[in-house]
Every structure is written in C-alpha cells, then in structure tokens.
A and B are shown apart, each in its own frame.
Chain A
C-alpha cells in the first residue's frame, strides 16, 4: 500500500512533466504552421496580386477598378438603364406571376435567386464593408452604392447569357456559366479560337477565385470573429487558425464530398433568416440613433467627394467603395451566371431581370446597413481638433476604437449598442461563410470540370483541394488572404467582361423581343 501511495503521485508527476512540454511544443508547432503557411502562400500569390492591382501609369488608381466601372457603365447605357426600368417586372417574376403552373417542381426564379444570393451575401457584406469604410472613410459607402446600382446591369447581361448558352445533358442536368456562353457565343460569331481561349482563362481564374474569395477569405474572417468572441488575443484559438480551418473543412468535406446535402440545406434555410436578423439588428441600431442618420449620410456624401481626412481623399474612397462592392456582389465577375443557369424558363432574359435584384439586395441594402452602423456608432475615431477622421499611418487606415479592422470592426460597432450582439454576429459570420463556401465550391467545380472533363476522380480531386484551402485560409493573416481573394475574383471579371462586350448585342435582341411581346400582351401573367 505504501509503495502504491508513493507511486501514484510520482507517476502523475512524470506524466505531467512528459505532457507539459508536449503541449508547449504543440503550441509552438501550431504557431509555426500558421507562419509557414502565411509566408509560403504570400510568396506564391504576390506577383499575381501585384499585376491585378497595378495602378494606371502615373496614378494610384488600379486599372482593374476602372475596368469594372467602365463595364458597368457601358451595360447600364447600352441597355438604357435596364436596372431601373425592369425592377418592378423582376419582382413580379420572382413572385412567380409569370411562371407556368405546369412547370411546378422545376427550379423557380425565386430559388435561383436565393441560391445565387446565398453565394454572394457573405463576409463581403460584413467584413468587406468594414475594410472599405476604415480605409476609404464613410465616403466609400457612396461609391459602393453607386457601384451596386450600376453592377445590376452587368449582372443582368451575364445571367441572361448564362441561361441562353447553358449545356443541357440527356439526363436533364445543366451546366452553365461564362465558360459556356463565351465559347458557344463566340463560336456562333465566328471566333471559336478566341472564345475557347477566353473560356479556358475564365475557368482558370474561377478556380483560383473559388479558392480565394469564395473560400480562404470566408474561412479567415469566420476564424477572426470566433477569436474575437472567445477572448481576443487570449483566446485558445488566437494564432491557431488551423483549428477553425480543420473544423470548417471537415463540415465542407462532408457536404461536398460526402454528398450530405441535408447540412447544406439546413444552412441555406438559416442564411436568409440570418440575413433578416442582421438587417433587422442594423435597423434597430439605426432606429436608436435616428437623430444621427442625417449626419451619417452627410458624412457619406461629404466623404465621397472630399475624403474627410482620409489619406487617399476622394480617389481613395472611390477605389475602396468600388472594390468592396465588386467583391461583395460579384457583378461582372460571372460567378452568379453559373448558379442562375439552372432555372427552368423559355425566356433566358427573365433570369437576367431576376438577377439584377441581386446586387441591389446585396450591396444597396445589406452593405449600406453595415456602413451606416459603423459610421453612426462612432467606432471610427474623429480627431476633435480638426473634425476629420484620425488617420493611423501605421495601420494604413482610419484609427478605430480598439484598433481593429475587418469583421472585428463591424462587431465592435454592433457591440456598442448591444453587448451580446457579437455572438449573434459570430453565428451569422460562420453560417454566411459556410454557405458562400458551398456555393463557390460548386462554381469552382464547374470550371474545373470544364477544363478537365466530368468524371468522379476529377471532381473528387477538386473537392479535396478546396477543403485544403479552407484550412490555409483560416491560418493566414488577413492581408495576404484578402489580396489574393480580390485578385482572383477580379481576374475573372477581366475575362468575363471582354466576353460580355462581344455578346451584349445578343442580349439586346433578346431584350427587345421580350419587351415587345410583353407590351403586346403575348407574354402575360398566369391567372392564379
């Protein structure tokens, strides 16, 4: 007995001394895993990022932002402000007023829109806006809204083409998206080689985008918010992004590889609810600060043209606004055309009308809410002496309460009003991130199979790579991730918008034909 009594503490001591360094080593190893991932991925993606965001010669204005603005403007003018003319008709289509009851059981306009929206309403709306406002000042919001309104025309063009030139297979499944409309449309116009080249380029960028913005950025910001609510720098998750990454990757794996659609379906049901909750919470905060709304819009308008002390001035606000809007609503990028192409309709143009609601909901409504909350709650620090925003040169943005950016800034803004809100936000962020990842895994997969053919092994290899990138994304610092996400997604827009310029006369013919038949009463609502 005596020996035993002495033995137990001794064994415990030995065990403890053996375990403690192992734990410490594991933590060291974890830190270094994060750092290694950061350095390596940063080094690989650097040149690509630099090319995409290269400024126009002699200015600080990235050529890619101009590219998107010009694209959206061209489509807006070419289709005669279709986003405003067809807005009411779009809502009518979503309500099913023009759907043939005999087609019940097929994908409805509402479903295509909802699925496409769950792919776009994500962290761009929560974290991206915070980035835009903290770097570009409140004025960035003005440009973001403008970009959202103009982007509606880009979305209209690409989604119409997505349905018109989709592939329908004998078993009834469909595949659509820019790679299909560019190659088919260009072939019809007598440019098969150029079409094939652009389609392949698009597919490559789409795969990169699905790993970047559709995946790594989401995982990264979901992790950031989880760290934030579990104690910030003291959290056990802090610096251990790979833990969040592995868990997220596991769930994504089960859904996209295991085919457990039920998990995805549950998320798809929760996401609209979260979106309503998010907008609702924002509205409550705005309601509580109703007296400041006028002031906030004043800040937004003034900031849009003067910069209010922001380093880049008006141009800085404009660049940030347009960048974040494009990243959030993906207009001109071509991704939504992939999701929208599954709808059942005899009129491809109807899906174009429906899709133009997407940037409106995503950017004009949801992003604006986030921006207003950030501006109104005063988490951006104003220099009392000058009345301008205090610029933190070190961080490259406006100084903020708690010195945070991205999703943490949005969280701080909401916490100003209700201390428990960051928990709700964390849930929303994780779910938004998850549903966006599921959507983008599909977009990327479509591009992947376009390049490598449709087979089980080809699909599986993409899906496994996708899950690996979830872990990498969660482990990286915000800087390299956000840059790479942006670059990959904007690269898609380069190819897609070239395609749209060539193919827009086809959309114009469809539009004219449809509108004249709508006017003559040939197309009319089905009696309920």
Chain B
C-alpha cells in the first residue's frame, strides 16, 4: 500500500503548520505535499504596462516563492527524514488546496490560521474556507 498523503497549505511565514504536519507524518509514516498559493484572479484589472510585464513578473514571483518559501521547507523536512514534495500555484487558495487534496487523494489537510483581521471576519479566511468545504479531516493550526 502506498503512503498516506497529508496536504499542507503553507503561506510562507508560519512554520508551526509544517512542524505539526511533520510530527504527524513521522508518527504515521505519511508523505507531505506542501502547497504554496500565490493569490491571483484572472479577472483582476491590469494596466497595459502590467500586461506587458506579467509574464516576466510571474517568472520572478515563482522563482522567489521557490527559493524563499518552498526550498527551505523541503530541505529541512527531508533532512529530518520526512518524505515531502512541494507545489507552487496561482489562483484562489481555498479552491486550489481542495483541488490538490482531491488530486493527491489526501488523508488529511493541515492549514495555518492567520490573524483574524476585519477583512477575514467579513469575507472569511483560507482556514474557514477549508473547514467548510474540505472533503477530508482538516487540522487548523493557530
């Protein structure tokens, strides 16, 4: 039987969610699938100048996310003996994490909880979105 997979929604700043997921993965011999989402809407408005630079910007943003967010986490996890993979995606975080969880046939989702800002209270947050719609048990890490 192949390893169970835990999907980890990692925003890039709070390591607590990754650490907790790693603890559980080690205990259960599961594999971690780290997802880092760059918020993006295909319906946002851009100036002509931004249109022109979009492809170049995207390359830079991807490289920065890979270098500053994904690579350090993966290196650390692998060094500590946890099998881990990573994915950087553009779009709406909740939608994409749900999609990845489905694709990976995940057993658990780990997600961090951000500051409860006014915006988050009104429009909801990634953790609330996942709590409402996740198809598998979801751990919300403060």
Measured CB to CB, the residues of A under 8 A from B are: 96, 99, 101, 104-108, 110-112, 114-115, 118-119, 171-175, 261, 264-265, 268-269, 271-272, 338-339, 342-344, 438-439, 442-443
Contact = CB atoms under 8 A, between A and B. Distances in A.
A107 B45 contact: no
B42 A172 contact: no
Nearest to B91: A104
Interface of chain A: mostly helix, strand, loop or mixed: helix
Listed from nearest, the 7 A-B pairs whose CB atoms lie closest are: A172-B56, A105-B90, A108-B42, A268-B45, A342-B51, A104-B90, A442-B48
B45 A442 contact: no
B53 A173 contact: yes
Contact of B46 (A174, A268, A271, A443): A268
Contacts of A268: 45-47
16 contacts: A96-B42, A104-B91, A105-B61, A108-B42, A110-B42, A111-B43, A111-B44, A115-B45, A171-B56, A172-B56, A173-B52, A175-B52, A268-B46, A342-B54, A342-B55, A438-B48
A339 B47 CA distance: 9
Contacts of A438: 47-48
Interface of B: 38, 40, 42-59, 61-62, 89-91
B80 to A, nearest CB: 31
B63 to A, nearest CB: 11
A176 to B, nearest CB: 9
A442 B48 CA distance: 7
B38 A105 contact: yes
A338 B47 contact: no
B45 A272 contact: yes
Interface of chain B: mostly helix, strand, loop or mixed: helix
A174 B59 CA distance: 14
B42 A442 contact: no
A110 to B, nearest CB: 5
B55 A119 contact: no
A82 B9 CA distance: 45
Contacts of B44: 111
B46 A107 contact: yes
B43 to A, nearest CB: 5
B117 to A, nearest CB: 20
Contacts of A338: 48
Contact of B54 (A96, A107, A271, A272): A107
A74 B42 CA distance: 34
A108 B38 CA distance: 16
Contacts of B47: 115, 261, 264-265, 268, 438-439, 442
B51 to A, nearest CB: 4
Contacts of B55: 106-107, 172-174, 342, 344
Given A111-B46, A118-B45, A106 B54 contact: yes
Nearest to A435: B47
Contacts of A173: 52-53, 55-56
Nearest to B43: A110
Given A110-B42, A173-B52, A439-B47, 20 more contacts: A101-B91, A105-B38, A105-B58, A105-B91, A106-B54, A106-B58, A111-B43, A111-B46, A112-B51, A115-B51, A118-B45, A119-B48, A171-B56, A172-B55, A172-B57, A265-B46, A265-B47, A338-B48, A342-B52, A342-B54
Contacts of A264: 47, 49
A92 to B, nearest CB: 14
Contacts of B57: 172
Contacts of A339: 48, 51
Contact of B42 (A99, A115, A119, A443): A99
Contacts of A342: 48, 51-52, 54-55
A269 B57 CA distance: 21
B45 A261 contact: no
Contacts of A171: 56
A112 B59 CA distance: 19
Contacts of B62: 105
Residue of B38, B42, B50, B53 ringed by the most chain A CB atoms within 10 A: B42
Residue of B48, B57, B62 ringed by the most chain A CB atoms within 10 A: B48
Nearest to A338: B48
A110 B49 CA distance: 16
A110 B59 CA distance: 21
Given A171-B56, A172-B55, A104 B40 contact: yes
B78 to A, nearest CB: 25
B42 to A, nearest CB: 4
Contacts of B58: 105-106, 172
Contacts of B90: 104-105
A409 to B, nearest CB: 30
A343 B61 CA distance: 18
Nearest to B90: A105
A174 B45 contact: no
A106 B58 CA distance: 7
A108 B62 CA distance: 17
A105 B52 contact: no
A107 B50 CA distance: 9
A354 to B, nearest CB: 13
A171 B42 CA distance: 22
A111 B40 CA distance: 12
B56 A269 contact: no
B59 A442 contact: no
Contacts of B40: 104-105
Residue of B43, B44, B46, B53 ringed by the most chain A CB atoms within 10 A: B46
B41 to A, nearest CB: 9
A110 B40 CA distance: 13
Given A99-B42, A104-B89, A269-B45, A111 B51 contact: yes
Nearest to A119: B48
Residue of A105, A112, A172, A343 ringed by the most chain B CB atoms within 10 A: A105
Nearest to A261: B47
B39 to A, nearest CB: 10
A474 to B, nearest CB: 22
A264 B89 CA distance: 27
Contacts of B49: 261, 264, 442
